[in-house]
Amino acid sequence: MRVRFTKMHGAGNDFVVLDCRNGEALPDAAVIARMACRHTGIGFDQLLIIETPRSSDALAAYRILNQDGSSAQQCGNGARCVAHWLVLNGAVTATEFVLDSPAGRMPVQRTDTGYCVDMGPPSFNPIEIPLQTEAEAPSYPFEFHGKSWPFHAASMGNPHALFIVETVDSAPVADLGAALQASGKFPEGVNVGFAEILDRNRIRLRVFERGVGETLACGSGACAAAACLIRAGHTDRALTVQLPGGTLSIEWPEDFAGIRMTGPAVRVFEGEWIHD
């Protein structure tokens, strides 16, 4: 079986993009895991599947698969890469257009520095995240190695938890992230962010993603972190989010409005995956 693919990244969060608009068969979970391996495969954080649109005003739809073959509902860096892939392949020439994401309709705008995507409004409702708790609260306790680590929680179409730390350099990202993921507090899993507040308009962020592990960037994680910090009064409504792989600009103009994320999208190379 031969599969044509495009390798892309958004702020270091890397993807393999497959064009399945003509009904091409998808690789199974075992093949996806082989493709995702950085030593013996192509290497990627997530697989993006481009399909025909589901709504009348969209140019295309896409799905997101993790390295283990599981589905993800939202990925801001992936959305920008899908948009750029469509532009590079001549499917779109307009400055503004709409994509059908797994989480719903997503407006996209081309900018001088990349793409701006409207990720929709955040939700802090534990039922919608979902988060196992008795009632919605500003933060939730979590015991880890004999210490209380309070976290914020939000949904951006996928579940996120956020720890505020003194410095992301020494934060126990893998250990604490994995512990929270395994705690049962989030029935559908959770992406765990660690934010260091630099000032009211800048933060540093590391994210331990469900089904992936730590990535160089997480677009929905950056939006969720901004939403949690803005809601708690720690920052202003326009933020620069510095991730290990690059920088994203996040704006949440008002409560109940969509969060807008602007950042780069880059085509790295194209190739053909051949497997038995």
The rounded distance, in Å, linking the Cα atoms of 273 and 7 is: 11
Report which of 181, 197, 259 is spatially closest to residue 227, judged by C-alpha positions: 259
| DSSP helix/strand/coil, 271 | strand
The residues pairing with 208 across neighbouring beta strands, listed in sequence order, are 192, 214
The rounded distance, in Å, linking the Cα atoms of 14 and 255 is: 31
Q: Which residues are catalytic?
A: 75, 218
145: left (phi over 0), alpha (psi -120 to 50) or beta: left
Report which of 34, 76, 47 is spatially closest to residue 207, judged by C-alpha positions: 76
Q: In this structure, what are the phi and psi dihedrals at residue 82, rounded to the nearest 5 degrees? A: -60, -45
The rounded distance, in Å, linking the Cα atoms of 58 and 19 is: 16
